[in-house]
Structure 1
Amino acid sequence: MDQDESLHRYGLHPAGTDLDAVRELLADHTRRERRAQGDGDTELMKLCCVQLFHTAALDDVLLIWQAKSAGMDADCSIDIQLLCGSGLARTKAYLSSRSLPAAEAALERLIHCEAAGDFEDFTTDAYAARWAAYYAA
């Protein structure tokens, strides 16, 4: 499945019954990208992260982080803000509560990006609207 097929099948706001398929698709392409840069479809990975952002489920934060950190192309394609579907404060609190190396790395990056101004005026609604416009084009 490619980005266009996923967008057609699931839309930007997948129904609850489709979320597991989106997660599996993201996990599969994350594994591919980790195996060899370029093997994963980073545009599809980005879309999956956008779809999961809209669910605002904290359980998806580390899955999105794994995708973002799968390789250089994925890191550039997947915005750090996509970890924050539940908001920046809730995401940081969630990551702080997890004693996993991936959670610590994600939290460190969030803090660094926040200090650099990447979350200035960030709201989940405005960020979601940006992606709606992006995929409508």
Structure 2
Amino acid sequence: MNEEKVLELYGLDPDTKYRQQIRELLQQEIENQEAVDHEYLKTLCIMLFCIGNVEDTVLIWQAKRKNQDTGSYIDVQLLCGAGYEKTVTYLEQKDGDQVREQLNYLRQCEPYDFVDFSKEEWVSYYKQYYEEP
């Protein structure tokens, strides 16, 4: 599958009923070591960001950490579809090295990437990027 097909199926700002399907597609793409087109991976992350379920932050983090290219390709803001504070609070309540790494990363980015953070503005930006009305 590619980003055009997934956008056609679900739309950039999908209904929450598609969340599990999008999560599964993202997990498959994270595990696909042959994938070189990161636009599809990013599109799936944007869809989960739009849905805004705080639990998806960990999966989006895995996508961001897949390799060096995805690390810079996937915007840090995509980790906070539920909001910065809610995401940090959620991560503080979880255990594990990956979670601590993500939490530290978000805290380091806060003064630069989350000043006046607005999910609505980011969704609007992505809709313009994908030329959705």
TM-score of Structure 1 vs Structure 2, range by shorter chain = over 0.9
Which amino acid is 2:96 matched to? L
Q: Are 1:50 and 2:46 an aligned pair?
A: yes
Q: CA deviation at 1:15?
A: 2.2
Helix, strand or coil: the match of 1:13? coil
The answer for the alignment partner of 1:4 in structure 2 is 4
Equivalent residues in 2 for 1:1-137 (5 A)? 1-32=1-32, 35=33, 39=35, 41-115=37-111, 117-136=112-131
The whole-number CA distance in structure 2 between the counterparts of 1:125 and 1:39 is 30
Aligned length: 132
Judge conservation of contact 2:91–2:99 (CA < 8 Å) in 1: yes
Structure 1 unaligned segments of length 5 or more: list them: none
Judge conservation of contact 1:114–1:120 (CA < 8 Å) in 2: yes
Helix, strand or coil: the match of 1:46? helix
The whole-number CA distance in structure 2 between the counterparts of 1:16 and 1:58 is 13
Structure 2 unaligned segments of length 5 or more: list them: none
Which amino acid is 2:5 matched to? E
Normalising by structure 1, we get a TM-score of 0.90
Q: CA deviation at 1:17?
A: 3.0
Normalising by structure 2, we get a TM-score of 0.92
| Runs of 4+ more than 3 Å apart | none
Q: CA deviation at 1:106?
A: 0.8
Q: CA deviation at 1:92?
A: 0.7
Which amino acid is 1:91 matched to? T
